[in-house]
A and B are shown apart, each in its own frame.
Chain A
Amino acid sequence: MTAMIDVTDAKKTFTMHLQGGIELPVVSGVTFNVNPGECVVLSGPSGAGKSSILKMIFGNYRCDSGRIGIRHRGVVVDLATAEPRQVLNIRRATIGYVSQFLRAVPRVATIDVVAEPLIAGGMSRADAQARAGELLHRLNIPERLWQLPPATFSGGEQQRVNIARGFISDLPILLLDEPTASLDAANRAVVVELIAEKKRGGVAMVAIVHDDEIRHLIADRIVDVTSFAAAA
């Protein structure tokens, strides 16, 4: 089987020019792959570099060296050396990222925040809003909130809007950073169900979850990030 994500010997260091140029090693020798329909969970203590690895796979952090192989429209592209416009194309068609926090454009209604990735992908506004409504409904966001911008919502509500936005597209790769962190049991169960549906649809996923129960429910494989700890 051909992997959707193939990370080889990736390395990341921050150079802090405002602090006298000190080097802050984050991770090195990061090597693992993810197949279609598989959920790999990154494990390791806080500060071990789990989120940094997700950001490197999304192209949000640049790599110092190594390779981030992404299968994009049938061709393997090295995201670590891809041009910005190609990274944008890969994000539009291949990689979705669900961060811990919602970073929505202000003044946009919740239903449109969720529907936006589908509209950007060419779907009509009405169809996209219908799909968004279904997901918001499943995630227990009451319909009376859909026309409001999510800025004033509670932390858990904002996270569910974020999850709806992240799960609405049919992208073949999803990166999940603590998708259940501030959710109650009922909503955690919905997210576990959504992840299972993505697996059946052949989506390759990399997730960070601290909750042992959730990890047990979603992980097909666990990659221990402490083995990628960069030498200080």
Chain B
Amino acid sequence: MSVQARLLDLLRSLVAELNLAVVIVTHDLAVARLLSHRVMVMKGGRVIETGLTDQVLDDPREPYTQLLVSSILPP
């Protein structure tokens, strides 16, 4: 976990300071919320929902996205 934290800190500072464009693939929705501005939710090789990260995570529309969001255990 501490290595993950350092990697996330590094990635965040690289994006901010070097003005990078980044695509990140993750199952970890907390990581998605922390790092990304926009989210694309994929299922079976298709993009099923896209939008602002906070919008997709706080107001998910598709059944599969609702399932993903409701599967997170609060820390």
Contacts and interface: CB of A to CB of B under 8 A. Distances in A.
B23 to A, nearest CB: 15
Interface string B31-75: 000100110000000000011101100110111001100100000
B52 to A, nearest CB: 5
A106 B51 contact: no
B58 A84 contact: no
Contacts of A210: none
Contacts of B62: 17
- Chain B contact residues, majority secondary structure: helix
B70 A18 contact: yes
- Chain A contact residues, majority secondary structure: mixed
A59 interface: yes
Question: What class of interface size applies to chain B in its complex with A?
Answer: 10 to 19
A115 interface: no
A62 interface: yes
A15 B67 contact: no
Contact of B59 (A60, A88, A106): A60
A107 B37 contact: no
A153 interface: no
Interface string A47-86: 0000000010001111000000000000000000000110
A87 B55 CA distance: 11
B31 to A, nearest CB: 12
A24 B6 CA distance: 41
A16 B67 CA distance: 10
B5 A60 contact: no
Contact of B54 (A60, A105, A107): A60
Given A16-B66, A17-B63, A18-B70, A107 B5 contact: yes
Given A17-B66, A105-B12, A88 B5 contact: no
Interface of A: 14-18, 55, 59-62, 84-85, 87-88, 105-107
Given A60-B58, A84-B51, 10 more contacts: A17-B67, A18-B66, A55-B59, A84-B37, A84-B52, A84-B55, A85-B38, A87-B55, A88-B37, A107-B9
25 contacts: A15-B61, A17-B62, A17-B63, A17-B67, A18-B70, A55-B58, A55-B59, A59-B55, A60-B54, A60-B58, A61-B55, A61-B58, A62-B51, A62-B55, A62-B59, A62-B61, A84-B38, A84-B50, A84-B51, A84-B52, A84-B55, A85-B38, A87-B55, A105-B12, A107-B5
